[in-house]
Structure 1
């Protein structure tokens, strides 16, 4: 499963997996403890596949940043999101060398590293966006 079914819900800790649609919103299952919650349209919800990180040249999808961390750590856990400011910034500069230091805050870096560790601990290692199947005959 790619990042298009993983959600961050403001005001709720951790990440959630989209479980089912309802009339007024949807049901989300916590990746942390497996509990299901009802989420309505009042909640501010972000789908991880739609998040991008600013660099000096472009916006890099979150999935690519998480994939870079995965490659750096050989699929293992990253440093703790509670590390010092300097350690976190140095680590993130290794993962995404040209990130925009004026627009990517320390809180963003902490959140990305925390999400990566949470996802890898719980067996989510596919950080790609779901690909559209290509129709045959496009290549010539």
Structure 2
């Protein structure tokens, strides 16, 4: 499953998998507890494939950050918890993305990235390419 189908919904904990679209919004399933919810278009929803982290030079897509974490952890979960203190989280994130913009990337952002990565890992979502990149990769193999 690509990050195009994984959502963050403002005011709701964790991440959600997009199931289907309705006239008034869409139906999503929580990755935390598996409960299905209906979400209206009024809710503030972010698709993970559209999120990026500020660096001193550019914005780096979240999928690239996840790939760097995966590489650092040899495909496993993170060695830090999203509940660790601010200094420990910043040190860890500095190892993953050394040039991140410390003025625009807050500890709360780092907590979310780590929590989301571990949640995706728990659900076996460890390939972070977008659907377009997956199609190109499969076409290159043919």
* Fold equivalence (TM over 0.5): yes
Q: State the alpha-carbon separation in 2 of the partners of residues 128 and 94 from structure 1.
A: 22
Task: Give the SS at the match of 1:14.
Answer: coil
Q: State the alpha-carbon separation in 2 of the partners of residues 15 and 83 from structure 1.
A: 20
Q: Which runs of 5+ in 1 are unaligned?
A: 135-140
Q: State the alpha-carbon separation in 2 of the partners of residues 32 and 75 from structure 1.
A: 21
Aligned to 1:81: 82
What value does the CA root-mean-square deviation take over the aligned residues? 1.0
The structural deviation recorded for 1:31 is: 0.8
Relative to structure 2, which stretch is displaced further, 76-85 or 45-54? 76-85
Q: Which runs of 5+ in 2 are unaligned?
A: 137-142
Matches within 5 A, 1:99-118: 99-118=100-119
TM-score normalised per structure 1: 0.92
Aligned to 1:48: 48
Q: State the alpha-carbon separation in 2 of the partners of residues 129 and 68 from structure 1.
A: 16
Show structure 1 runs of 4+ deviating over 6 A: none
Structure holding more helix per residue:
2
Relative to structure 2, which stretch is displaced further, 48-57 or 73-82? 73-82
Aligned to 1:98: 99
Aligned to 1:137: none
Q: State the alpha-carbon separation in 1 of the partners of residues 55 and 118 from structure 2.
A: 22
Count matched residues. Answer: 134
Q: State the alpha-carbon separation in 1 of the partners of residues 129 and 111 from structure 2.
A: 21
TM-score normalised per structure 2: 0.91
The structural deviation recorded for 1:130 is: 1.7
The structural deviation recorded for 1:4 is: 0.4
The structural deviation recorded for 1:122 is: 1.2
Task: Give the SS at the match of 2:132.
Answer: coil
